[in-house]
């Protein structure tokens, strides 16, 4: 069956359909990864986007449930040069086509993905519609013009309720803005007692969990679309050690008074070089984001830049000068991509331990009781809304 990808500038790509038979509108982006297409498909940060893979052969090692980065894919469409219908790998449970059909995601193959990538690099990301339903170009133009891009992606991908992954070491509250499973794996293998909370959890609700540290996860979209999260981070800043990843990095920057802006075509792939300014070492990183922290906005804050992107000099890492808090724009948990930066989770553990040592004084029980009493002082009796989540 024929498939059509129509861009908002009027460009039409005609290819062959795979996946679900439907129409989908989204922001058309590209990813430069050679492997890791399943992790790309299941990364919640791609919610609302039609993803183009620049590597020409996709689907050759199939799909396995063990490699999912979320419970389901959230992308709005998949664009490849060639899709393999018969995967060759002993771990494969089913094909790429079967995965897209299962979750109602359209795909197109057989188009010039190199031309599409060059167009996005030159003109920037743009809105598009991917159709495998047989609609005409005129019908798709009307659909494209009448459908706005999403602004509520975080609420779509975040957990609806609090859940935990028990451990016997530090308690870490993971604020889920679209967290990848890799982040949870890196925390639990370090023995952390992880409590995952929804994106709209308030500062007082987090205080009640008595965390040793807070991790702000990755997620989709514009950080300015989740102002409630910025306010929560601002209230918690200085109370607990804090680590931000990707969207969490941008929310941390906004909470500290910095500003963010949209990149022309973003950073998406597993081969982005990042320089650590503290050691002058370069790390190859996994990235997936369309926004960045404005360098000129840092001067008026208490933040310092710790990492930069070697390709375009954008900010890749921040640290607070006064409080135990830091963040990175890339993905130290990889999945997919290199594991060069997994040491950042160890730095987070060390920051928690150091903060505990510095604040040692009251017995743990007294600290919990004091924090609880303070958080309940201005709260109405019986926080039913939180209890029902």
- Residues taking part in catalysis: 246, 331, 333
219 is in an annotated binding site: yes
Angle between helices 247-255 and 227-236 (to 10 degrees): 70
45 is in an annotated binding site: yes
CA angle, 105 then 111 then 113, to 5°: 90
Return the structure tokens found at 47: 């919610």
Q: Would you call 212 helix, strand, or coil by DSSP?
A: coil
247 is in an annotated binding site: yes
288 is in an annotated binding site: yes
> Measuring CA to CA, which residue among 79, 22, 11, 77 is closest to residue 48?
77
> Measuring CA to CA, which residue among 335, 287, 342 is closest to residue 69?
335
Return the structure tokens found at 104: 């109602």
Give residue for tokens 């791609």. Answer: 46
290 is in an annotated binding site: yes
| Residue 48 falls in which region: left (phi positive, over 0), alpha (psi -120 to 50) or beta | left
Exposure letters 38-58 (e unless 16+ CB within 10 A, then b):
bbbbbbbbbbbbbbbbbbeeb
Report phi then psi at 27, rounded to 5. Answer: -85, 125
Under 8 Å between Cβ of 302 and 320: yes
**Dihedral angle at the C-alpha atoms of 178, 316, 355, 223, nearest 10 degrees?**
-40
291 is in an annotated binding site: yes
Provide the pairing of β-strand 281-293 with 303-309: unpaired
What is the rounded CA–CA span in Å between residue 28 and residue 125? 6
What is the rounded CA–CA span in Å between residue 155 and residue 220? 10
- Which residues belong to the annotated binding site for L-glutamine? 45, 219, 221, 247, 250, 288, 290-291
- Which residues belong to the annotated binding site? 45, 219, 221, 247, 250, 288, 290-291
């Amino acid at each position: 069956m024929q498939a059509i990808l129509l861009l908002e500038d009027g460009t039409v790509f005609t290819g062959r359909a795979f996946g679900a038979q439907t129409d989908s509108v989204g922001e058309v982006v590209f990813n430069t990864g050679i492997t890791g297409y399943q992790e790309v498909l299941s990364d919640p940060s791609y919610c609302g986007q039609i993803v183009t893979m620049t590597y020409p052969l996709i689907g050759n090692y199939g799909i396995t449930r063990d490699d999912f980065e979320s419970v389901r894919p959230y992308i709005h469409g998949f664009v490849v040069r060639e899709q393999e219908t018969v995967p060759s790998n002993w771990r494969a449970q089913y094909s790429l086509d079967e995965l897209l059909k299962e979750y109602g995601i359209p795909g197109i193959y057989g188009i010039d993905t190199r031309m599409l990538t060059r167009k996005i690099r030159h003109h920037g990301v743009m809105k598009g519609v991917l159709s495998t339903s047989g609609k005409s170009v005129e019908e798709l133009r009307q659909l494209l013009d009448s459908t706005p891009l999403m602004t509520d992606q975080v609420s779509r991908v975040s957990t609806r309720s609090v859940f935990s992954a028990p451990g016997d070491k530090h308690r870490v509250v993971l604020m889920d803005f679209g967290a990848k499973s890799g982040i949870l794996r890196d925390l639990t293998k370090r023995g952390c007692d992880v409590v995952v909370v929804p994106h709209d959890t308030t500062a007082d609700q987090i205080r009640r969990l008595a965390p040793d540290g807070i991790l702000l996860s990755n997620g989709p979209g514009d950080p300015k679309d989740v102002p409630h999260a910025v306010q929560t981070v601002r209230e918690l800043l200085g109370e607990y050690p804090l680590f931000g990843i990707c969207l969490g990095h941008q929310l941390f920057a906004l909470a500290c008074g910095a500003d963010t802006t949209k990149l022309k075509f973003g950073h998406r792939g597993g081969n982005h070089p990042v320089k650590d300014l503290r050691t002058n070492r370069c790390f190859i990183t996994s990235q997936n984001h369309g926004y960045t922290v404005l360098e000129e906005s840092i001067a008026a804050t208490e933040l310092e830049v710790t990492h930069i992107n070697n390709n375009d000099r954008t900010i890749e890492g921040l640290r607070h000068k006064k409080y135990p808090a830091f963040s990175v724009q890339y993905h130290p948990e990889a999945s997919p991509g290199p594991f060069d930066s997994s040491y950042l989770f160890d730095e987070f553990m060390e920051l928690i331990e150091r903060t505990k040592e510095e604040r040692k004084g009251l017995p743990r029980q007294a600290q919990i009781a004091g924090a609880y009493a303070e958080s309940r002082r201005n709260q109405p009796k019986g926080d039913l809304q939180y209890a029902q989540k």
